[in-house]
Amino acid sequence: MGGWNEMRERVVLWEDDAVLAVDKPYGLSVMGERHDTDLITMAADDGESLQWVNRIDKVTSGVVLLAKTKAAHAELTRRFAKRTVDKSYLAICRPGGFATEATIDLPLLTAGSGRVRVAAERGDIRFDEAAARWHADGDLLPRKNYPSTTECRALWDDGDDVVVLAHPVTGRRHQIRVHLAWVGHTIVGDPLFRPKSAPPAPRCHLHSLALSLDGPNGRIDVRAEPDAGFWDPVAGRLDPRELLQAV
């Protein structure tokens, strides 16, 4: 992988004196990795002090926003807390048969095992066709839960697989991954939902595509299109360039 200074040239999408936006590779943590390297530590080791603003999972690739100063970090995190940031993700899910447009409105909680799950029983999850909305039709589990909403649009669907454009309205841990799996369309290669007997997948096909928000020095609009390997599950069945022109 090399050091930060070497990687920096490849991954920087946008930069000013307060903010850095990068295209994080799959398999690299943003920060806090115990037994391996992470992006923040790599930068620090090469003399650059950065603070993460949006922290995507290690298995997720794509846009990450980093602050160069404490003041910029405070301002940007307030934007995320107030939900004034437009976030777009791409996910390749299986099976297909996804609604053309739908909202997943399912609260989340952290179970005793530490895993994030929907705060309802699977049998209580319903899809309201008139409202194009997944919701829990029944009592929620008697634990602290967090309202969580993801807006989704199917960009391509052949019945076997579907490419979903996801806009998380809230920003809960593992939100997109859990929401899509619990409504029956698990992200291909997601280790959270891989059967114990199954071999590890090459990667999880979830990608942070774009961020748009007001930054300390003006508007920030960044986009990182996925690498070729992201499209492997649907290779030969769609043209990624054509698909992304409509996004």
CB-CB contact of 194 with 201 (8 Å) = yes
Note every long-range contact of 107-111, with CB atoms under 8 Å and residues 24 or more positions apart, other chains counting.
107/136, 107/140, 107/145, 107/146, 107/147, 107/148, 108/145, 108/146, 108/148, 108/172, 108/173, 108/174, 108/175, 108/178, 109/141, 109/143, 109/144, 109/145, 109/146, 110/173
CA distance 122 to 125: 6
Name the 3-class secondary structure at 81: helix
* Catalytic hit among 23, 57, 105, 157: 57
3-state secondary structure of 100: coil
**Amino acid letter, 54:** N
State the alpha helices, DSSP H only, in 115-239.
Answer: 175-182
Residue 239 catalytic?
Answer: no
* CA distance linking residue 186 with residue 14, whole number of Å: 32
Q: What is the DSSP string of 133-157?
A: EEEE-SPPPSS--B--EEEEEEEEE
- Coil vs helix vs strand at 212: strand
| Catalytic center residues | 57
